[in-house]
Structure formats: structure tokens, C-alpha cells
Amino acid sequence: MIFFDDIQQKTIPAHIAIIMDGNGRWAQRQGKDRIYGHQQGVETVRKTIEACVDIGVKYLSLYAFSTENWNRDPDEVSALMELFMYFYYTETDNLHKNNICVKAIGNLDMLSDDCRNGMQNLIDKTKNNTALTVVIALSYGSRWEITHAAKQFASDINNKVIDINTIDETIFASYLQTNQLNIPDPDLLIRTSNEYRISNFLLWQIAYAELYFTDVLWPDFNKDELLKAIHDYQGRTRRFGKTNEQLIK
Ligand code: IPE
Ligand code: IPE
Ligand code: MG
């Protein structure tokens, strides 16, 4: 077991992104329906936010619903949407009281008015908070985000807002939702439930994130598991293309 004291304060990842997977399997293992797993998943979200504040993480991005998840059974999709709304209505005051700022990325036009308004209220209310920024990825797909950015980018070139000869990575990245919301790239990406893929999450932004996979299903994830992931991250060497010798200099 990893304890808080085993974590080096100086190298706590500033931004942790999580692919919260395994709710359905968790429920099925106990003979319950998938929705029950999602409800427990919301409890894990609450606890994970608290843990990040305690540990001193500054950004936590949570993959809550992907563009591909719209293809699930309509009953599951509407139950998930209800759960998101329940989360906004029950958690807004609590998150605000705890000085937590909430932001959202994704194709929010796809959400119902109620769902979007609940989220907007939470975002507006918490916008000046500073303890932790929670980024909720809802109706999010990285390919959608990049395509959307490319469209705006092309339009700005057409309208001569930017000159094609000055384009570089930084200018293109400035069109991504994350950059527009001043969210730095993740340092650590965690995926639960023993799946070893990215499923269209933050493809551009994780270019140099450290990846951590665990077989724990999302409803069973907790502060100990988070500390384990951070401890593992702290044992890595982030070279960003350089050699170890260069890093020592
Ligand atoms: C993750 O759990 C939550 C969402 C994708 C909304 P799943 O619902 O994917 O659970 P599994 O992968 O089927 O166990
Ligand atoms: C990824 O989980 C999306 C979220 C956690 C919101 P999925 O369960 O949808 O991913 P795949 O389909 O197994 O790749
Ligand atoms: Mg899944």
C-alpha cells in the first residue's frame, strides 16, 4: 500500500486525466444493471475530487461520456444524462464551497437544454475558484475536438485573421477547447478496468503524458489507487525526447 507520505510533494502531477471505465462490468458482477454501476461511478467521482484536493493536484480531467457513447442503448444514454444532471444539482454548492472550479469540454450542443444549463450554472458559479480545476469531458471525442478546431482554423485563414506562413503547433493548439480554457496538457493519464486503449480521449494533449493502466473497475477506484498511480508516475523519467545524460546536466 502507498501512503501519502510516500508521495514526493515536488513532483505531484499537476494534471491527472482519467478514463473512468468499468461501471457496467462492476454492476454485472453483482447481478445488477449497468445503471447501478454508473451511480456508484458518480460516488467515485466525488471521492476522487476530494482526494485530488487533499493530495494537491491542480487539474483533474474526467472522461464522463464520449462521442461514441451516444451509440449505446437509448435507455442507458438517458439514464446517464439524468445522472449528470443529478450531479450538477446536488454537487454545485458543495464544489463551490470547497473552492473547486469546474470546466467542460466536448460537443455540448448535443446535450439537452436542461443538461447543458445545469452544467453551465455549475461552470459559472465556480469559475473563480482555485483549489482544483475539474474538467468534465462530456460528449467529448478528440477527433471531434481536432476537427472542430481545424474548421475554425481554416475559417481564420480564409478571413486572413492568421497568415498561413506563421502556423506552428502552438497556434494550432490554441484552437483546441482545452487551450481556450487554459487547461494544460495532462501529466498522467489513468485508465481503469483493464482496457489498454485511449478511446478518443485528449489525443493531441497526451502526446507526452505518462500512461497508467489498472484492472480496478471505476466504482472500486479510491484514494489508495490514486496514490498508487501517482507513486508509479513518480518513478518514471520524463525525457521529452532527450537522453538521460542531457537531463542530468
Ligand atoms: C464507463 O463505464 C462509463 C461510460 C463509458 C459512460 P462503462 O459503461 O463503459 O462500463 P463497462 O466498460 O461496460 O464495464
Ligand atoms: C471510454 O469508455 C469512454 C468513457 C470512459 C467515458 P468506453 O467503455 O466507452 O470505451 P471503449 O468502447 O471500451 O473503448
Ligand atoms: Mg467501458
**Residue 139 in contact with ligand 1 by CB distance below 6 A:** no
Measured in Å, residue 12 CA sits from the centre of ligand 1 at 28
Give residue 6's pLDDT: 86
Give domain status of residue 197, yes or no: yes
Pocket test for ligand 1, best of 18, 20, 21 (most atoms within 8 A of CB): 21
Give domain status of residue 38, yes or no: yes
Q: Does the active-site annotation cover 21?
A: yes
Give domain status of residue 72, yes or no: yes
Residues in the chain: 249
Measured in Å, residue 83 CA sits from the centre of ligand 2 at 17
Residue 64's domain comprises 13-141+183-248
Provide the number of structural domains found in the chain.
1
Give domain status of residue 229, yes or no: yes
CATH of the domain at 103: 3.40.1180.10
Give domain status of residue 173, yes or no: no
Distance of CA 62 to the CA centre of its chain: 3
Give residue 103's pLDDT: 98
pLDDT tens series, the chain, 249 aa: 888 888 899 899 999 999 999 999 999 999 999 999 999 999 999 999 999 999 999 999 999 999 999 999 999 999 999 999 999 999 999 999 999 999 999 999 999 999 999 999 999 999 999 999 999 999 999 999 999 999 999 999 999 999 999 999 999 999 999 999 999 999 999 999 999 999 999 999 999 999 999 999 999 999 999 999 999 999 999 999 999 999 988
The closest-lying atom of ligand 2 relative to the alpha carbon of residue 199 is: 14
Which ligand places an atom closest to the C-alpha of 41?
Answer: 1
Give residue 4's pLDDT: 86
Give domain status of residue 83, yes or no: yes
| pLDDT, tens only, 64-74 | 999 999 999 99
Which ligand places an atom closest to the C-alpha of 22?
Answer: 1
Give residue 40's pLDDT: 98
Q: Are 49 and 134 in contact (CB under 8 A)?
A: yes
pTM for this predicted structure = 0.97
**Residue 65 in contact with ligand 1 by CB distance below 6 A:** yes
The closest-lying atom of ligand 1 relative to the alpha carbon of residue 26 is: 14
Instruction: Report d(CA 188, CA 157) in Å as an integer.
Output: 34
Give domain status of residue 177, yes or no: no
The closest-lying atom of ligand 2 relative to the alpha carbon of residue 65 is: 6
Give domain status of residue 53, yes or no: yes
Give residue 12's pLDDT: 97
Of 212, 171, 165, 170, which is closest to residue 193 (Cα–Cα)? 212
